[in-house]
Structure 1
Amino acid sequence: MKIRGDIVRLYRNVHSWAGITAGLFLFIAFYAGGMTMFELPLGNWASRTSALPAPVPAERLSELVQKAQAADPTVATNHTVVLHPNETSPSSLMWTVSADRDHGPARTVYAGLAADGALVTQTRTPSQVGYFLNILHQRIGLPLNREYGRLIMGIVALLYAVALVSGTIVLLPSLIRNLFALRLTENLRRVWLDFHTLLGFCSLPFHIVMAATAAGFAFHQPIMALEKNLFFPAAPTHLAQKDKPHHGQNPQALLEPMAIVDAFRTQVPGLEPDALAYSSRGGKLSLHVMVHDTAEVARRPDGGYGEVNPYTGRLTSTDFLPGHQTPAFQVLTVIYALHFGTFGGLLIRWGYAVLGFGGAFLFYSGNQLWLSSRRRRERSAGLTEDSFGTRFLSILTTGCMIGCISGVSAVLAATPLLPEGGHYQTVEALFYAVFFSCVMVAVCLGGARSLRPLLAVAGVLTLLIPLTDMMRCLASGAVTSLALSVDGVALVYGVVLVMLALRKGQRQTPAAGVAVTP
């Protein structure tokens, strides 16, 4: 395919500037996003093992709920009956006593029955480390609130899309000749460029999905608000009042949990309920029957739910019920699933994690390639030192990207030592303390000279993860397969980072004489 040279140069410049502008943010989004593929296992790993109330048999669930309501009347409108307790939901009955939508899992009461039938409860906050990593990726590393972080993320996603389109156009003229020509015998800059091109092109569908869905998540609320104001006039007051509940009426008796389960199984054959989540909306009790089916596309990692009338057991809404949605909601679910990898089971989640970490490397290599080209031009122009712009981007590339790796490793290494596995404010403060410390080191030493010491710091912090976790396991006397998996991955990754930092010499590009390091 032939494209005029001036057009290719224009798109190459667009690709470079859009890429380096968005790359710093996108590195954090993809690095933390790769870890969110295992948000639930990380939350289970980080949570403290303790003597929680034992699960009760199905026939005693009603007794457990009644005794919990007698001890705390607020339970009636805020509780979850867990039908199949597991590591994430370890007791048969749970309810929250405080909630913070921006700061992850709420303080939760876990309830069960003792051998003599007495109510036994334990209150704790589940570890919020996994949730923090998810929010870090959603807000592209910026310590902003949900609203402003989402808008900036949308702008970065648009720049991301521009970089994808322009990069593809630049590649088209030499697609067949250069795509799979990984020239390992030439200078290091050429190797990096070939690898960057190959990685970017092969993962292009994934990146297109990420850019499009991220922009949609960022701007869907303003768009929906505009559509509502333009096309859906407010309902008349006398019609709106019809839907308000009449508090003077005597409420019906709630169905017992197993009666709800039986009614749900009858209406939705093939889906097994996992939990019954009761909540209050506008003074009216609502019930979500939680299900998880790996054969269906779900909006969230923990599955979906059907809305059920808690008094009659009748299914009232299937908007979020996997496999039973309307076409419009199914399209929305597919969009969410494509972004968060909530389909296809563990294999897809591992694939998304690899693509996420590969994307982080793509942005890092893109910045390093730009820096190398910039330095070559400056040396050709007679400059003996980097210009301010080159130094500034080099500092940000090293400080922010290696700072992100160090911050995440510091959070995971501290998790076994933090109360209740780490509260959101604690792990957030720790991450940004390490992150900005790395940026300051890069400012003081310069981007190139600070790379090796910062890589060493990141490696040491990563190696601390299995050390602190083994200390916790030895103290508790329990070593789980999940702990061994997390520790094994951290050990290998930490060793790789340390080896990169301890290399005796850095290879240089013959053309520029400037180190280009991974």
Structure 2
Amino acid sequence: MKASTHRTFQTVHTWTGLLAGFALFVAFYAGALTVFHDAIAAWQNPPWRSACDANIPVTVLIDRLVTEHPEAKDDFGIVLPVDPSHAAYAYWQDSQGTRFARYSEMAKPSEEANPGDLADFIYALHDSLGIPMVGLYLMGIVSVLYGLALISGFLIHLPHLLSDLFAMRVGHNLKRLWQDAHNAIGVLSLPFHIIFAVTGSILCLFTLTLAALNTIAFNGKLYGAFAQAVATAPTLPASNVAATMLPPHVLIAHAKGAAVAGEVSNFEPDYLHYMHYGDRNAVIEVRGLSQHTLGTYGTVALSAADGKVLATHVGTQHTINGITNSAMYGLHFGTFGGNLVRWLYFVLGLAGAFLFYSGNLLWIESRRKRRHADQPKRTRVMARATIGVCMGTCLGISGAFAATLVAAHLDIEAAMPQRITCYGLFFAACLYASLRPIPRAAIELLGAISVLTIAVACTDLLANGTAFTQAHSPQTLAVLGVDLTGLALGLIFATLARAAARRARHGDPNSVWSTAVT
């Protein structure tokens, strides 16, 4: 590779990494936790502390919906509970927009699904940085920059890839150690990062891409063609003849039977979609998950009146469109495998967050003056920004767990405490990093993350100690797993705080991380 070409790729890699790095740190750290979405939901509402309406049958929920909101009969959905401690809820469209409601909320439906659900809040941080509407498109652009950073980084290190891949040169040259760690993690996890970048950009920018193609190339006909291509149920007009609907549990049993015919024996429904409820031509789509397959999400369409199977998009009976769409979600979130794949994705998420953090550290190390105690302003600004954003993200998410725990014990809605605590701690960390000496800010914020994370885990373990010894179920193990993972993360942050303190005292004095220059 020519020197000029190498410099070009180096510039592309550096600036795409810097521009996208902060957003990607948030996305990867929150994404690592999102892999265990259901486990976090169980942690918030464990089996021994059932949520409101958890014992209301789906049939009763539907009856109240169509009685109090008859306009919803033509098209509504039911999101099934993930476990017995959660409640099913309905959603539909009315003149004011989308509405969500559990059984007891039917008189006053909400504009938001599951307000106060911690797992959904963390997912929103991963998906859109918690920014409504614009955040999703922003993360799509970030994913494109992320892809450029991956390609340029790979090309930069390609000439000496094999010789330096497993090199971890520990010594006085800290920049080289960070470089080795950054390169090793980047190259070893490259296939997964390519998957994340491609699927992330498609999922986030899909709506904009569809709108652009509809205008430029399809003369306004793309929306209709796309809807027809991805439809999983036949469109049947209402007959205006009333009919009795089969109970949801019967229809779900029929759907599971159809899934078995598609060579899927572990089809677990999570969502029901009704059209023309109460009509002889009523149709229900039963969507569910199938483990150990890229076609994670599948759908079976049936007649809601007699249970006749109308269409099957599960397993070997998936369409090309269906398997492609489902595979994007499965590959991005690791739902195509069991617990081993989830833990792999969890580790990859944390490693990805470290990748962008270490990239910023490399930029700082490359531009500092090694013979002067007074470091350039740009390196100090980048160091403060890196500490504030990265550590503020970790502190904010731990704070959201703490707020959820407190809200549960006070029996209040958790949505507002979660947001106030998470965003408040994030901005407080950014302000703290901008005012305190850089090395002390890093040490103290790492220590705060460690203390808060361990405190939340220990508090929940102590509060649920009796329940852990009496209740034995997958949800019980999930709650215990979240607490133990919190303890492990807290200890990791404590180790990092200790390492930062050691470097501040004994590292190169001509560094923004040294207490000798503060």
TM-score, normalization by structure 2: 0.79
- Do residues 489 (structure 1) and 482 (structure 2) align? no
How do 1:379-458 residues align onto structure 2 when only pairs under 5 Å count?
A: 379=370, 384-419=373-408, 423-458=414-449
Is the CA contact (8 Å cut-off) linking 1:126 and 1:421 kept in structure 2? no
Whole-angstrom CA distance in 1 between matches of 2:219 and 2:196? 31
Whole-angstrom CA distance in 2 between matches of 1:266 and 1:468? 44
Is the CA contact (8 Å cut-off) linking 1:278 and 1:286 kept in structure 2? no
Query: CA shift at 1:418, angstroms?
Result: 0.9
Report the equivalent of 1:115: none
- Do residues 173 (structure 1) and 159 (structure 2) align? yes
Report the equivalent of 2:118: 129
Query: CA shift at 1:502, angstroms?
Result: 4.0
- With over 3 angstroms needed to count, the CA separation of the structure-2 counterparts of 1:488 and 1:155, relative to structure 1, is same
- With over 3 angstroms needed to count, the CA separation of the structure-2 counterparts of 1:426 and 1:307, relative to structure 1, is farther
Task: Tell me the alpha carbon deviations over residues 220-256 of structure 1, each in whole angstroms, 9 at most, x when there is no partner.
Answer: 1122223334426559xxxx9xx79457x22222234
- With over 3 angstroms needed to count, the CA separation of the structure-2 counterparts of 1:273 and 1:496, relative to structure 1, is closer
Is the CA contact (8 Å cut-off) linking 1:33 and 1:137 kept in structure 2? yes
Letter in 2 for 1:46: Q
Selected match of 2:83 from 75, 88, 108: 88
Query: CA shift at 1:357, angstroms?
Result: 0.4
Letter in 2 for 1:450: A
Selected match of 1:21 from 13, 19, 22: 19
Query: CA shift at 1:67, angstroms?
Result: 9.6
Query: CA shift at 1:438, angstroms?
Result: 0.1
Q: How many residue pairs get matched?
A: 473
Query: CA shift at 1:369, angstroms?
Result: 1.0
Selected match of 2:189 from 203, 207, 216: 203
Q: Secondary structure at the match of 2:158?
A: helix
Letter in 2 for 1:231: F
Whole-angstrom CA distance in 2 between matches of 1:81 and 1:177? 52
Task: Tell me the alpha carbon deviations over residues 359-389 of structure 1, each in whole angstroms, 9 at most, x when there is no partner.
Answer: 000111110011011113xx56xx6523332
Report the equivalent of 2:225: none
Report the equivalent of 1:309: 303
- With over 3 angstroms needed to count, the CA separation of the structure-2 counterparts of 1:446 and 1:164, relative to structure 1, is farther
Is the CA contact (8 Å cut-off) linking 2:41 and 2:118 kept in structure 1? yes
Task: Tell me the alpha carbon deviations over residues 468-516 of structure 1, each in whole angstroms, 9 at most, x when there is no partner.
Answer: 3135326979674333322222223213322432455316665955548
Is the CA contact (8 Å cut-off) linking 1:414 and 1:468 kept in structure 2? no
Whole-angstrom CA distance in 1 between matches of 2:147 and 2:54? 51
How do 1:138-287 residues align onto structure 2 when only pairs under 5 Å count?
A: 138-139=127-128, 141=129, 143-146=130-133, 148-229=134-215, 230-231=217-218, 245-246=237-238, 249-257=240-248, 259-261=250-252, 263-264=254-255, 267-268=258-259, 269=261, 270-271=264-265, 274-275=268-269, 277-281=271-275, 285-287=282-284
Whole-angstrom CA distance in 2 between matches of 1:31 and 1:43? 18
Letter in 2 for 1:289: V
Whole-angstrom CA distance in 2 between matches of 1:21 and 1:489? 31
TM-score, normalization by structure 1: 0.79
Whole-angstrom CA distance in 1 between matches of 2:457 and 2:93? 32
Query: CA shift at 1:18, angstroms?
Result: 1.4
Task: Tell me the alpha carbon deviations over residues 412-459 of structure 1, each in whole angstroms, 9 at most, x when there is no partner.
Answer: 122221146863343122110000000000111144331011111111
Whole-angstrom CA distance in 1 between matches of 2:270 and 2:198? 34
Q: Secondary structure at the match of 1:318?
A: strand
- Do residues 293 (structure 1) and 290 (structure 2) align? yes
Report the equivalent of 2:502: 505
Is the CA contact (8 Å cut-off) linking 1:43 and 1:127 kept in structure 2? no
Letter in 2 for 1:389: R
**What's the % identity of the aligned pairs?**
28
Task: Tell me the alpha carbon deviations over residues 258-292 of structure 1, each in whole angstroms, 9 at most, x when there is no partner.
Answer: 55355445544354664585545578754232433
- With over 3 angstroms needed to count, the CA separation of the structure-2 counterparts of 1:266 and 1:167, relative to structure 1, is closer
Q: Secondary structure at the match of 1:73?
A: helix
The alignment's C-alpha RMSD in Å is 3.8
Whole-angstrom CA distance in 1 between matches of 2:344 and 2:17? 24
Report the equivalent of 2:348: 355
- With over 3 angstroms needed to count, the CA separation of the structure-2 counterparts of 1:308 and 1:391, relative to structure 1, is same
Whole-angstrom CA distance in 2 between matches of 1:19 and 1:417? 38
Letter in 1 for 2:503: Q
How do 1:467-478 residues align onto structure 2 when only pairs under 5 Å count?
A: 467-473=458-464
Structure 2 residues not aligned, in runs of 5+: 106-112, 223-227, 229-234
Letter in 1 for 2:163: R
Letter in 1 for 2:292: A
Report the equivalent of 1:114: none
